[in-house]
Structure 1
Amino acid sequence: MSLGDEHGFGDSARADDEYYDGGRTRTRLPDRPGDPYGGARRGSRSSSRGLITVVAVVVLLIGAIAVANRGGGDGGPAASDGAGDKPKAAATAATGRKPVTTKTAGIPSGFPHDEQGAQSAAANYSVVLGSAEMFDTDRRHRIVNTVYAPDIAAARQADLDSAYSSEKFLANIGLTKNGTAPAGQTFVSRVIPVGTKIAALSGDTASVEVWYTSLFGLSGQASTNPVSESWFTTTYQLRWVDDDWKITDFQQKDGPVPVGRDQRASTADDMTKAVEEYGGFTYAR
């Protein structure tokens, strides 16, 4: 199992393909045919037709809200109109539960033994496994021993130690042989979950999919491996062990990947400042 699979950056060692892009940006012209967000620009319309369109949208929105508010009733007439066969509008809607308040080795722990607890555990474990802390040997050992099931952690520890100590891998991503950033640069390695989904749940085992974006690279004026963005979905196999969810296995795949907007890349100083000033989150369903 590769290191890229572990922390969600894909083939991180392929610096020539993914990170060393010379700072090029792609420009998406808004008027070109086949544009993902609406195609070619249409001609002008009269103000009266525009007003009718706005009113129609408002009426549809009010109707949608009314239908949503009817859900969860006593199964009266509203339940017989076919609305119950439609998928939920928000698969990752908040449950109203507060995030866990307990931590083990600085990592959120003590998740509920239910669907929401499994999804929250998977999201939080994604964040820590994709963090820059994984490049520090002592911290990596604590992370693995915390998020993996005890009978799995030892084997994973050996694999990860071998991968993270590879001087070739470290050199490819621009780090020193000690896993640290060169002088004057800041190493960025973050995972930001976008959504979670229960793929399977049965008793003390669960399969949870986490869709997320990751930031990875070196921020600094002399960086040849600038911070870039990637998108992945990782499916975690979890088991209920010692009153908490623990990882037993996982599978990773690319995407879904959204269309990139025509935004100018930030300067190295702005990126470094953002990484230093903005912290992460504890995730809950």
Structure 2
Amino acid sequence: MSLGDDGYGSGHNDYGDDRHHGTRTRLPEGEVDPYAPTRRGSGRSGRAGRPSGRNLITVVGVVVLLIAAIAFANRGDGSGSSSDDDGSPRTPTGTRATAPTGTKPVDGKTGGIATGFAHSEQGAQSAAANFAVALVSADILKPDRRHELIPQVFVSDQVPELQKKLDAAYSKDFLAKVGLNEKGEAAKGMTYVSRTAPIGTKATKYGDAQATVEVWCTGLFGTAGTSSTNPVANDWFTMTIEVRWVDGDWKAVSWSQKDGPAPVNSDRTASTADDIAKAAEQYGGFTYAR
């Protein structure tokens, strides 16, 4: 099951392991490694085993130079990647990479949906990614759960009308076509799967009060079970979600969906219905933020 272009249901029949390696510097012959152990002095002046004042000055000087070089390298020369106002690096092509920015992604969750997004373009994209997961989840087909989710995702002035439209779209007849009862539950021995994973986000419009974000997604949709007539299959789609800054958080105003971009399917053997059902039940989802 995925959403149609009008934003409502249409049935499918058919966020590293860093290792720090030590480095050795090979010096030209004749030069002295300032970090090498100091030889015991054999002369009459100075105590044995203590470096001379000249060696101490050399070590300090090298350390200062290394610190300056590292600071310069981190700063960049202007020809590589630069940073946006929110601190996230921007590559020469203008694309925005996911990176630590010092901005806390979310403050918490309400009813399983992330809340407390940053008042920034980054926060708007995080909100849209999490809303996409909720709007194409199995819970959206359950009337009781849907009536809890919609007020959490959407601005209050859109909730009453949207609830009516979704109740009509996910009618008893529609649910029966995807193998669910009127409560949105699968038959005994069957597991309905509707799981979405955002691949990336892009803000096509942004302002302090409102933004439009595209969320590229993949997902699993269908009913797992030995007698299922609607087996679980994968899908690729892009959701466009308009969000508004309301009462200190981003809320959705509207959304739509289109197919793709989709990669070439691999020739990997499909798992059994039992394996898919177990995976859907045992593996939890994520809070998406950038």
- TM-score normalised by length of structure 1: 0.71
C-alpha spacing 1:176/1:227, structure 2 compared with 1 (3 Å): same
How does 1:1-285 map onto structure 2 within 5 Å? 4-5=4-5, 11-12=10-11, 14-15=12-13, 18=14, 73=76, 75=78, 78=79, 86-88=92-94, 91-96=96-101, 97-164=103-170, 166-285=171-290
CA distance in 1, matches of 2:201, 2:91: 22
CA distance in 2, matches of 1:206, 1:148: 14
In structure 2, give the amino acid aligned to 1:114: S
C-alpha spacing 1:4/1:174, structure 2 compared with 1 (3 Å): farther
CA distance in 1, matches of 2:117, 2:131: 12
C-alpha spacing 1:186/1:85, structure 2 compared with 1 (3 Å): closer
CA distance in 1, matches of 2:250, 2:113: 13
**Greater share of residues in helix:** 1
1:7·1:131 contact (CA, 8 Å) conserved in 2? Answer: no
Rg: which structure is higher?
2
C-alpha spacing 1:98/1:222, structure 2 compared with 1 (3 Å): farther
CA distance in 2, matches of 1:11, 1:191: 16
2:4·2:257 contact (CA, 8 Å) conserved in 1? Answer: no
CA distance in 2, matches of 1:274, 1:7: 28
1:3 CA drift (Å): 5.4
Query: Which blocks of at least 5 consecutive residues in structure 2 are unaligned?
Result: 15-71, 81-89
1:192 CA drift (Å): 0.6
1:92 CA drift (Å): 4.1
* Secondary structure at 1:194 match in 2: strand
In structure 1, give the amino acid aligned to 2:118: P
1:7·1:129 contact (CA, 8 Å) conserved in 2? Answer: no
Higher relative contact order structure (alpha carbons within 8 Å, sequence separation ≥ 6): 1
- TM-score normalised by length of structure 2: 0.70
**Runs of 4+ that moved beyond 6 A:** none
CA distance in 1, matches of 2:250, 2:230: 36
Query: Which blocks of at least 5 consecutive residues in structure 1 are unaligned?
Result: 19-68
* Secondary structure at 2:132 match in 1: helix
| CA-atom RMSD in angstroms | 2.5
* Identical pairs, percent: 50
